[in-house]
């Protein structure tokens, strides 16, 4: 039998349905793996051994009855920004250290409905604010390919856990690249869906017009399986799109012939690591050899994306995080003499430096006399970025680019330089501003053996063509399925 820890969702489905392994046995293997490896990687904030085995026993009964869904019995990890009933949901923050939600997020209801198994909750940058998972209030997560390097962020725990084979797949959230950037750094597949395709109900908010839940998996087909499971309209989320769930696995079989791939000049600029560019260009060559047409395009307002994002995202964060005041739930300071002091001390002690920085930036941008100069202007530039993508997709079907300017950098290398850290997301942020789908998938390695990801983007609600292109490229590249920490 193949090493079960190496198998994908689709492969495990066959083993489980044939009775060659039970969900209980599979879950036990993954819990053992967490026990042996997570002391090095530190991807999990909470491990749910007892609960996972109880879910596995229920999954085994469903499988025996012949009623298994695609995810029945599949062990998964969940980013700790997604509400899980009765299970700590901390956002890797002191502010929510002891918070146990009284309800499940919609995505959790859908995973539970399919009989998926939750192994635990995964580490992240506090309140999803960061690009390295060094901003967690608890500990930094490490990249399984090099334990001295960051896994990316903010869904660093989610990507590291899949890469280190501590879960079959995971859910992350993406506000400015928080799924795709860590997926690239850890050599796995990460997808930010079209805004509104997956319900945000039960996702602890950072920037509500940008946040989106998405899958992190070992291969493109697994991402399609997981997205099909969690997507769909939800009337508890006012931004949820009233669209049927797309049948994405079918798109994976259609090939690349006739697809026009746009190459944006603004994404291949000075300062991008040479090996990143060479691996991306090799991926483009493979796509061309498989029948795709390469088209030069321009996204002229890309240079304003970082500034636009850090006005809109921080402004929305300032508003969303005002609820953490020490009154209703979450952390409350102990020593205070009046109500205002309680507010002040609670927020000063409960939030970490990066969260405080973004709250202050956002509050400033929304303050009297500055709203028009900053937030209104940023919203107007966002519209220009959306129009850039619309025009580009008149000339091409998908757009290809680097995910990040470099491969994973060393822990501590950029943590004291916020601007350099923010620039890690320069190629992913425009996707969130435009609300379109974007995927990171492995396309090679640099000379140090660190993974390089290629980013594929498609038009609004065009996940089908995105999966078609990504699946074909994955097969065309034919990268050996090798995992770190064997």
Q: Which residues are catalytic?
A: 79, 154, 178
Within 10 angstroms of residue 81's Cβ, the number of other Cβ atoms is: 34
Nearest by Cα to 99 from 395, 332, 424: 332
Q: What is the spatial distance between Cα 54 and Cα 49, in angstroms, rounded to a whole number?
A: 9
N-terminal to C-terminal alpha carbon distance within the chain: 17
Tokens 């970025």 belong to residue: 385
Order across the sheet with 169-174: list the strands.
44-47, 117-122, 75-79, 169-174, 212-217, 189-192, 438-445, 451-458, 398-402, 260-264, 293-297
Q: To which H or E segment does residue 455 belong?
A: strand 451-458
Sign of the Cα torsion 325, 330, 331, 336 reads positive
The DSSP symbol for 122 reads E
How many Cα atoms within 13 Å fall on the side-chain side of residue 422? 15
Within 10 angstroms of residue 423's Cβ, the number of other Cβ atoms is: 18
Residue 81 CB partners (closer than 8 Å, separation 6+): 89, 91, 124, 127, 128, 173, 203, 204, 206
Computed on alpha carbons and rounded to an integer, the radius of gyration of the chain in Å comes to: 21
Tokens 């769909």 belong to residue: 232
Residue 80 CB partners (closer than 8 Å, separation 6+): 45, 46, 88, 89, 90, 91, 92, 121, 122, 123, 124, 157
Residue 451 CB partners (closer than 8 Å, separation 6+): 145, 184, 185, 186, 187, 407, 408, 442, 444, 445
Nearest by Cα to 465 from 198, 287, 300: 287
Q: What is the spatial distance between Cα 437 and Cα 428, in angstroms, rounded to a whole number?
A: 11
Sign of the Cα torsion 467, 471, 477, 481 reads positive
Q: What is the spatial distance between Cα 27 and Cα 7, in angstroms, rounded to a whole number?
A: 13
Q: What is the spatial distance between Cα 373 and Cα 230, in angstroms, rounded to a whole number?
A: 39
């Amino acid at each position: 039998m193949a090493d079960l820890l190496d198998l994908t969702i689709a492969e495990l489905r066959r083993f489980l349905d044939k009775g060659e392994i039970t969900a209980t046995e599979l879950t036990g293997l993954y819990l053992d793996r967490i026990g042996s490896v997570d002391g090095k990687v530190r991807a999990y904030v909470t491990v749910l051994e007892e609960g996972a085995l109880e879910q596995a026993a229920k999954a085994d009964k469903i499988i025996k009855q012949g009623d298994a869904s695609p995810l029945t019995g599949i062990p998964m990890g969940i980013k700790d920004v997604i509400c899980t009933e009765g299970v700590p949901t901390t956002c890797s923050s002191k502010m929510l250290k002891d918070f146990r939600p009284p309800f499940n997020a919609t995505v959790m209801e859908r995973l539970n409905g399919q009989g998926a198994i939750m192994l635990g909750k995964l580490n992240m940058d506090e309140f999803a604010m960061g690009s390295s998972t060094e901003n967690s209030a608890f500990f930094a997560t490490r990249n399984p390919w090099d334990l001295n390097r960051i896994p990316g962020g903010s869904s660093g725990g989610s990507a590291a856990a899949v890469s280190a084979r501590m879960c079959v797949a995971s859910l992350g959230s993406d506000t400015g690249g928080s799924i795709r950037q860590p997926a690239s750094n850890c050599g796995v597949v990460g997808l930010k869906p079209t805004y509104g395709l997956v319900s945000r109900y039960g996702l602890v908010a950072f920037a509500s017009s940008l946040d989106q839940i998405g899958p992190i998996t070992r291969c493109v087909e697994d991402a399609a399986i997981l997205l099909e499971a969690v997507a769909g309209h939800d009337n508890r989320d006012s931004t949820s799109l009233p669209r049927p769930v797309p049948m994405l696995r079918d798109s994976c079989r259609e090939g690349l012939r006739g697809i026009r791939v746009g190459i944006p000049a603004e994404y291949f600029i000075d300062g991008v690591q040479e090996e990143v560019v060479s691996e991306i260009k090799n991926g483009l060559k493979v796509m061309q050899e498989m029948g795709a047409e390469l088209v030069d395009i321009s996204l002229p307002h890309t240079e304003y994306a970082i500034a636009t994002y850090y006005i809109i995202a921080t402004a929305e964060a300032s508003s969303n995080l005002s609820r953490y005041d020490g009154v209703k739930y979450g952390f409350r300071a102990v020593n205070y003499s009046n109500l205002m002091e309680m507010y002040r001390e609670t927020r000063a002690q409960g939030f970490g430096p990066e969260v405080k920085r973004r709250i202050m930036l956002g509050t400033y941008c929304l303050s009297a006399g500055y709203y028009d100069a900053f937030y209104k202007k940023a919203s107007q530039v966002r519209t220009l970025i959306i129009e850039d993508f619309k025009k580009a997709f008149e000339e091409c079907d998908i757009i290809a680019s680097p995910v990040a300017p470099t491969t994973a950098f060393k822990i501590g290398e950029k943590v004291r330089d916020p601007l350099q850290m923010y620039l890690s997301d320069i190629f992913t942020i425009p996707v969130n501003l435009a609300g379109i789908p974007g995927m990171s998938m492995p396309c090679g390695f640099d000379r140090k053996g660190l993974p390089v990801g290629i980013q594929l983007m498609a038009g609004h609600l065009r996940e089908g063509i995105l999966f078609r292109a990504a699946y074909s490229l994955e097969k065309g590249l034919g990268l050996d399925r090798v995992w770190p920490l064997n």
